């Protein structure tokens, strides 16, 4: 019986794994350069972490979460997104108690039960960054600048930064009613999903990509024209800060994000490099989400990008190449005596941090051994046979130039170490 990977979940290996490792390293370098520290949360969370934050009536909670029963009673879920679990961790460990702004990043697998397609898998990976305890519009601009730097660092310029304000609990309820009154005469023209959203989450209709729904909301009232005084000031300062950070952006009244916890700033990065799935990443401000965990309110803002989508964009641009982990030395023993001399030396070099591989097959000839060294893209091949042992020498071959030199067998480890500096 053949057993395959679960549909929508992908194995990583070979050159693809090398590309992922290269990108992961760059992402961590960027986060560190902006003074963000890493945080990791468990893959399993209680259902309430998401139903109380993402929203009971969102697609994620209604349709997409993988659930697990813990001892038959407590419902657990595989995390479908990063922010809710991050805030749960912050509240549980009282990280917000310092009162000072703190910056975190995470790189974690996420899980959603939806139809797999290019750039959208059931197990996917998100890189995210979050700032807590900073209510300033400048923090919103910084978060976007971090994500902007990710794409800049890879040489990607074919994207747009789309920004909007979704208001706050003071001004958004009145706008929702105004929007519903505008849409109501054309309710039958909406897709089935948006008809369901009309009562529970009318702002989501603005974000629908179906042509009929886009036509209905094309001239809808804009949230930015109905903000309270505080939200107006926040949004205006945010736009100025974003310009000062040299981030190009477009104001888009239809950017509302799909989760209940967003307030004020919302944004998306979109690109034609992805084909039908245009969103590279996005996020926004989520002040007050902590109250849903029984804690006092504190401000927060963040983003998440999909790793799989980033890799698609990089491949479309041919902006990332596989960087295989090749050995510095490949040991090629010819005969039993050579094998016993080189075996412990290979581990001595590994323990000193030098990538080293050795042929354990004791019956292979020189031609086969050299083919292996070439296949592995080793920098040097070390050859040792009975004649070399007799004369107290070993042959070191540069695999690129084919130049060879004789090394003293009794000081071989240090001679090889000098080649690594």
Is the same domain home to 273 and 351? no
User: Shortest CA distance to 412 belongs to which of 367, 389, 359?
Assistant: 389
How many domains does the chain contain in total?
2
Q: Which helix (H) or strand (E) holds 241?
A: helix 229-244
Is the same domain home to 380 and 271? no
Secondary structure class of 288 (helix, strand, coil): coil
Domain membership flag for residue 3? no
pLDDT of residue 204: 86
CATH number at residue 116: 3.30.930.10
Count of Cβ atoms closer than 10 Å to residue 294 Cβ = 8
User: Shortest CA distance to 349 belongs to which of 265, 260, 264, 416?
Assistant: 416
CA-only gyration radius of the chain, Å? 28
Contact between 156 and 274 under an 8 Å Cβ cutoff? The reply is no
Domain limits for position 407: 329-419
Domain membership flag for residue 207? no
CA atoms within 13 A on the CB side of 202: 22
Q: Dig out the tokens for 8 from the structure.
A: 């929508």
CATH number at residue 388: 3.40.50.800
Domain membership flag for residue 407? yes
Dihedral angle, C-alpha 394, 399, 401, 406, nearest 10 °: 0
Is the same domain home to 240 and 288? yes
Is the same domain home to 268 and 399? no
Is the same domain home to 378 and 247? no
Q: Which of 271, 293, 317 is the last residue of a domain?
A: 317
Is the same domain home to 105 and 137? yes
Is the same domain home to 414 and 269? no
**Mean pLDDT of successive 10-residue stretches along the chain, which has 421 residues:** 88 89 94 96 91 63 77 86 93 92 96 81 94 97 96 90 94 92 90 86 86 88 94 97 96 80 90 74 90 89 93 81 83 95 96 95 91 95 95 96 95 95 86
Is the same domain home to 273 and 369? no
pLDDT of residue 316: 82
Q: Which of 286, 317, 348 is the last residue of a domain?
A: 317
Is the same domain home to 115 and 244? yes
Q: Which helix (H) or strand (E) holds 283?
A: strand 279-285
Is the same domain home to 280 and 415? no
Q: Which of 290, 317, 344 is the last residue of a domain?
A: 317
Domain membership flag for residue 115? yes
pLDDT of residue 286: 92
Domain membership flag for residue 158? yes
- pTM, two decimals, is 0.85
User: Sign of torsion, CA 39 63 57 202?
Assistant: positive
Domain membership flag for residue 57? yes
Q: How far apart are CA 188 and CA 254, in angstroms?
A: 20
Domain membership flag for residue 221? no
Count of Cβ atoms closer than 10 Å to residue 185 Cβ = 9
Q: How far apart are CA 223 and CA 166, in angstroms?
A: 6
Is the same domain home to 162 and 268? yes
Q: Dig out the tokens for 144 from the structure.
A: 């976007």
DSSP letter for 364, please.
-
Domain membership flag for residue 239? yes
pLDDT of residue 151: 92
Q: How far apart are CA 326 and CA 330, in angstroms?
A: 10
Contact between 312 and 118 under an 8 Å Cβ cutoff? The reply is yes
Residue showing tokens 């004791």:
362
**Judging by beta carbons within 10 Å of its beta carbon (0-12, 13-18, 19+), is residue 281 exposed, middle or buried?**
buried
Is the same domain home to 248 and 107? yes
The beta strand positions in 290-373, using DSSP E, are 300-306, 329-333, 356-358
Contact between 279 and 111 under an 8 Å Cβ cutoff? The reply is no
Q: How far apart are CA 318 and CA 343, in angstroms?
A: 41
């Amino acid at each position: 019986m053949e057993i395959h990977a679960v549909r929508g979940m992908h194995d990583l290996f070979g050159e693809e794994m090398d590309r992922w490792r290269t990108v992961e390293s760059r992402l961590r370098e960027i986060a560190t350069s902006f003074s963000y520290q890493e945080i990791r949360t468990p893959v399993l969370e209680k259902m309430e972490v998401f139903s109380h934050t993402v929203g009971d009536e969102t697609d994620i909670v209604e349709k997409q979460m993988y659930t697990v029963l813990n001892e038959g009673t407590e419902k657990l879920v595989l995390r479908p997104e990063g922010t809710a679990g991050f805030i749960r961790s912050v509240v549980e460990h009282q990280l917000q108690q310092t009162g000072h702004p703190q910056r975190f990043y995470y790189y974690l697998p996420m899980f959603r039960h939806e139809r797999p397609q290019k750039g959208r898998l059931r197990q996917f990976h998100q890189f995210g960054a979050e700032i807590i305890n900073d209510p300033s519009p400048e923090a919103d601009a910084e978060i976007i600048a971090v994500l902007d730097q990710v794409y800049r660092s890879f040489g990607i310029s074919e994207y747009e930064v789309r920004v909007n304000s979704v208001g706050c609990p003071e001004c958004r309820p009145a706008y929702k009613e105004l929007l519903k009154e505008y849409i109501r005469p054309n309710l039958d023209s909406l897709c089935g999903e948006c008809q369901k959203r009309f009562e529970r989450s009318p702002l989501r209709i603005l974000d629908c990509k179906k042509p009929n729904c886009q036509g209905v909301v094309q001239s809808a009232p804009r949230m930015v024209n109905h903000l309270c005084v505080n939200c107006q000031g926040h949004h205006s300062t945010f736009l100025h800060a974003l310009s000062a950070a040299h981030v190009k952006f477009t104001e888009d009244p239809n950017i509302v994000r799909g989760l209940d916890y967003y307030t004020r700033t919302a944004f998306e990065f979109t690109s034609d490099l992805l084909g039908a799935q245009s969103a590279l990443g996005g996020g926004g401000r989520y002040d007050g989400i902590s109250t849903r965990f029984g804690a006092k309110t504190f401000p927060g803002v963040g983003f998440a990008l999909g790793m799989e989508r980033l890799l698609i964009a990089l491949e479309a641009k041919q902006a990332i190449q596989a960087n295989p982990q090749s050995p510095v030395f490949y040991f090629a023993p010819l005969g039993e005596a050579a094998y016993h001399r080189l075996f412990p030396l290979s581990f001595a070099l590994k323990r000193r941090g030098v990538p080293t591989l050795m042929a354990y097959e004791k019956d292979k000839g020189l031609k086969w051994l050299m083919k292996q060294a070439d296949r592995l893209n080793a920098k040097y091949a070390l050859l040792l046979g009975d004649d070399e042992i007799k004369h107290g020498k070993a042959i070191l071959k540069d695999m690129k130039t084919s130049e060879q030199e004789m090394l003293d067998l009794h000081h071989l480890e240090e001679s090889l170490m000098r080649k690594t500096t």
